[in-house]
Structure 1
Amino acid sequence: MTPLTSSSKFKGVDILLTSQWPRGVWHYANNPEVNTKLCGSNSIASLADKLKPRYHFAALEGAHYERLPYRNHVVLQENAQHVSRFIALAAVNNPAKKKYLYAFNIIPMKTIDPAELVKQPQDVTENPYRCPTKDKMDTQKTAFSATEEEEPANQYFFDLSKKQGGGSRGHGRKRHSDGDGRGRDQQHHQGQPKQPRRHPQPSGPCWFCLASPQVEKHLVISIGTHCYLALAKGGLTPRHVLILPIGHYQSVVDLSSEVVEEMEKYKSALRKFYKSKGERCVLFERNYRSQHLQLQVVPVPLNRCATEDIKEAFMVQAQEQQMEMMEIPEHTDLKQIAPPGTPYFYVELDSGEKLFYRIQKHFPLQFGREVLASEAVLNIPTRADWKECKQSKEEEEESCKQLRDDFQPYDFTWDE
Structure 2
Amino acid sequence: MDAPKILVLGTVTATAPLYRRLQKLHAKQKFDAAFCVGTFPVEEAVATPAPLPVYYLLPANDPMPDASSIAANVTVLHGHGQVDVGPLRVGYLAGVFHGEPPGYTPGDVAALEALGACDLLLTQDWPRGFHTLLPDDRIPGSLRHKTDATGSYLVAQLAMRLRPRYHFAGVPSAHCELPPYRNDQDSSSFTRYIALAEQGSDQKSLYACVIGPAPSAPPADVTPCPYTATRTEPSSRPAKRPKTTTSMAKLAPVEVAQTRWAMGPQSGQPPPPGYVCRLCSVAGHYIEDCPQASTPPDGYVCNRCHQPGHFISACSMKRASREPQECWFCLASPSVEAHLIVNIGPAMEMSPDERSDLDKYKEALKTMFNGNCVIYERFIATRAATHMQVQVVPVDAAFDSRAFRDLCARESGVDFEVVDDKFTVDRIASDSQFIFVEAPGERMLFHMEPGDRRRVPLQVVRQALAVMAGEPAKADWNMCRLSVDEETAQRDRFKSQFAPFDPFPE
Q: TM-score higher than 0.5 here?
A: no
Larger radius of gyration: 2
Class of the TM-score when normalised by the shorter of the 2 chains: 0.3 to 0.5
Normalising by structure 2, report the TM-score: 0.33
Normalising by structure 1, report the TM-score: 0.40
